[in-house]
Amino acid sequence: MGLKGFVEGGAACVVAGSCTHPLDLIKVRMQLHGEAPPAPALAFPGGGAHHHHHHHLLQQQQPPRRPGPIAVCAQILRAEGPTGLLSGVSATMLRQTLYSTTCMGLYDTLKRRWERDDGGGGGPLPLHRKVAAGLFSGGVGAAVGNPADVAMVRMQADGRLPAAQRRNYRSVADAIVRMARDEGVCSLWRGSPLTVKRAMIVAASQLATYDQAKEAILARRGQGADGLATHVAAGLAAGLVAASASTPVDVVKTRVMNMKVVAGAPPPYSGALDCLIKTVRSEGAMALYKGFVPTVTRQGPFTIVLFVTLEQVRKLLKGVDF
């Protein structure tokens, strides 16, 4: 009993995640664009000279023009072929399975339990309760799925590095095993406070907006309108809200997860806040919305495919209980 919500959510998320994977890949590449390449650690032994030299470097390197999603896509196709757009798809499947199954299932369970506790009036939950359910289930789901998430970001980012620096993970399992072996088990949870924060923001904004929008449409149009058009409209609203709320956290998360830590050299970012400050300082505040267009183009279709699939799976399993 109670597993049904988990199965429904997981199935819908795997479908949606696989369909929109190329968009996600383009988003990751755009977010890493303009980030300073890892500096050779031992090149400047003198502190003062290093500082001066570094300053000089910064003046020479104006941040390059930001390529748009189409340009990034074309570049991936040229350099890595059509399969390049699917790099890391095995990690996406695993991440969706771990994260989304947990998240959607918990949200469903909490929502039902709270609706029951509210006196069984059967009325819809107030928005703040939905947001709370989303925050909680998103956070737990993200903690469970973080290893697959780190693996996914790294596999997606790999193709843009020169051959010598590539990590060349064969599959998501290979990535997770090698990270645990080479960088310690804790590296699998690198950036996890960020993943958890982002997931809480996404889950709360996405799930609560979807339910709220759907209820609003049905309240106006009557229960007969509970069809595809309503699901698409509510899904689109949920995607837009989620994308706007989560992009800044997402940019920082992508950069922290992808940073190369060289033994003996200080890491490029000491943490999320440091990454946030450095990014804004060197690339301006709008850099926090890097990859916003692909985030929306991905969150939109992703959310729509997700909720439409979810509603269909729910219809299929309507009489079944497990």
pLDDT tens digits, 196-212: 888 999 999 999 999 99
What integer is the mean pLDDT of 84-100? 83
Only one residue has tokens 């988990």, namely 6
Whether the pLDDT of residue 102 is over 70: the answer is yes
Residue-level pLDDT at 121: 57
Number of helices and strands (H, E) in the chain? Answer: 12, 0
pLDDT tens digits, 116-132: 887 655 678 899 999 99
Residue-level pLDDT at 138: 94
pLDDT tens digits, 61-75: 455 677 888 898 999
Residue-level pLDDT at 135: 95
Is this prediction's pTM over 0.85?
Answer: no
Residue-level pLDDT at 171: 85
**Positive/negative CA dihedral, 34, 40, 43, 45:** positive
pLDDT tens digits, 28-42: 888 888 877 665 544
Higher pLDDT, 297 or 46: 297
Give dist(CA 4, CA 105) in Å, integer: 8
Cα 308 from chain centroid (whole Å): 20
**Which one, of 11, 5, 13, 62, lies nearest residue 36 by Cα?**
62
What integer is the mean pLDDT of 282-311? 86
Give dist(CA 156, CA 86) in Å, integer: 8
Identify the top-confidence range among 111-115, 130-134, 258-262. 130-134
| Residue 265 DSSP label | S
Give dist(CA 123, CA 110) in Å, integer: 15
Give dist(CA 162, CA 311) in Å, integer: 44
**Which one, of 255, 252, 156, 258, lies nearest residue 198 by Cα?**
252
Whether the pLDDT of residue 77 is over 60: the answer is yes
Backbone φ, ψ for residue 39 (5° rounding): -75, 145
Let me know: does 175 contact 155? Beta carbons within 8 Å: yes
Let me know: does 104 contact 6? Beta carbons within 8 Å: yes
Give dist(CA 18, CA 309) in Å, integer: 13
Whether the pLDDT of residue 281 is over 90: the answer is yes
What the block records as the tokens of 23 is 């968009």
Window from 105-109, 120-124, 143-147, 213-217 with minimum mean pLDDT: 120-124
Let me know: does 24 contact 99? Beta carbons within 8 Å: no
Let me know: does 190 contact 90? Beta carbons within 8 Å: no
Structural domains in the chain plus CATH codes: 4-37+48-316 (1.50.40.10)
Residue-level pLDDT at 205: 94
